[in-house]
Amino acid sequence: MDKHLSRYQMLFSLGFIFMLVAAVGAFFAGVEVGSSRTESRYEAKKLLASAASAKTSYSQQDLVSFYHTVFSPYREFQNEWLAMEKKVESRNIPASSSLLKDLGDLADEKRKEIESVRSVPDTGLLASARIGYLASLDSISQASAAAAKVASGQPADSFLSSLRKQQSYKDAARKGLAAQKDYYSSMLKWASGVDGGIPSEAVLTGTVQSSAWSSYPLLVKIKLMADLLEKRGRWTDYYPQDLAGSVDALLQSGESQRLHASSINELADVVTGTGAVRGGDFWTMKSRLYGKETLPQLPFFLPPDN
């Protein structure tokens, strides 16, 4: 009897331990799978949205509507976040958990705002851009939550270095820049429909020589700068048109020859690496550098007083 009971107890104990190990394993697997499913959900939607992008054309109303309902809310958050980084870097404010929590809440708020939009097409570049911006906000929300746990009391340099090394932070920048590229690609689709001299697509695949650059329509130059920003991973508070204008200003000044930079890629790296590009630069040089160009009537292409 005792021997039988002892065997029963042993089997029961082994069974209990097995179930406990399985439950713990399932929990941690669930956490990882949940995160992967979120990522996969966005990737699947992006693939579906991109499937029709080659065939899709856009009206100016499509571009304007997207600007106000998706692009602008995202940029409002992005500018707040980048302003925080600059203030911490310049020691104007300390890194704090409450600051990161507020920014995480803002990211969630903007994501819900963009998610509620129903005016964006279900397929094509604008749909892909919207999905990318939503995914970017999800990732930066995760980054802010992780950073908030260790922010208080950290030296500024240490805090920013740790923050920028986070995979969720890198993902947020990458997804946001890819979405920005898609939005500017949609502008080219629109432009080619109203001006036969503008191609419907332009992709930065290698080095662009200055001689070729000078012959490009302005919107093509701007799209190529959106490509370059994505390739370089530069999540910035200035726009691709600000970078295009800075490059053209450098070419016009003759400084490119002194720098021995023969490609646009090199010139763009010079002006971004030295902090010579700022948001709004495009409008300080537009009338001086460019004549009549085909651009959609979007707020960031219109005079500042409009």
Residue 158 lies in a domain: yes
168-210: pLDDT as tens digits: 999 999 999 999 999 999 999 999 999 999 999 999 999 999 9
CA distance 237 to 219: 19
Among candidate residues 133, 162, 190, the one where a domain is terminated: 190
Residues 145 and 219 in one domain: no
Tell me how far CA of residue 261 lies from CA of 14, 193, 255, 267, in angstroms.
Answer: 71, 35, 9, 6
Torsion of CA 163, 244, 124, 297, to 10 degrees: 120
Residue 182 lies in a domain: yes
Residue 43 lies in a domain: no
* Total number of domains in the chain: 2
Residues 262 and 213 in one domain: yes
Residue 196 lies in a domain: no
DSSP assignment string, 257-303: HHTT--BHHHHHHHHHHTT---TTHHHHHHHHH--S------GGGS-
Domain interval for residue 147: 57-190
The H-or-E segment that residue 87 falls in is: helix 72-89
Residues 61 and 184 in one domain: yes
Among candidate residues 162, 190, 218, the one where a domain is terminated: 190
Residue 9 lies in a domain: no
The mean pLDDT of 122-148, rounded to a whole number, is: 96
Range with lowest mean pLDDT among 23-32, 142-151, 158-167:
23-32
The mean pLDDT of 258-278, rounded to a whole number, is: 92
Residue 20 lies in a domain: no
Look at residue 119 in the predicted model and tell me its pLDDT. 87
Residue 2 lies in a domain: no
Tell me how far CA of residue 254 lies from CA of 29, 96, 258, 261, 265, in angstroms.
Answer: 59, 45, 7, 11, 16
Residues 167 and 288 in one domain: no
Residues 217 and 164 in one domain: no
Q: Which residue has the higher pLDDT, 261 or 138?
A: 138
Residues 229 and 167 in one domain: no
Look at residue 35 in the predicted model and tell me its pLDDT. 46
Look at residue 300 in the predicted model and tell me its pLDDT. 94
Look at residue 39 in the predicted model and tell me its pLDDT. 57
Residues 274 and 208 in one domain: yes
Residues 61 and 177 in one domain: yes
Look at residue 290 in the predicted model and tell me its pLDDT. 93
Look at residue 152 in the predicted model and tell me its pLDDT. 83
Of 138, 136, 139, 134, nearest to 70 (Cα)?
134
59-90: pLDDT as tens digits: 999 999 999 999 999 999 999 999 999 999 99
Query: pLDDT band for position 112 (50/70/90)?
Result: very high
Residue type, 209: Q
Residues 142 and 186 in one domain: yes
Residues 181 and 212 in one domain: no
Whether the per-residue pLDDT at 29 is higher than 50: the answer is no
Look at residue 34 in the predicted model and tell me its pLDDT. 44
Residue 237 lies in a domain: yes
Residues 179 and 61 in one domain: yes
Among candidate residues 190, 218, 235, the one where a domain is terminated: 190
Residues 178 and 227 in one domain: no
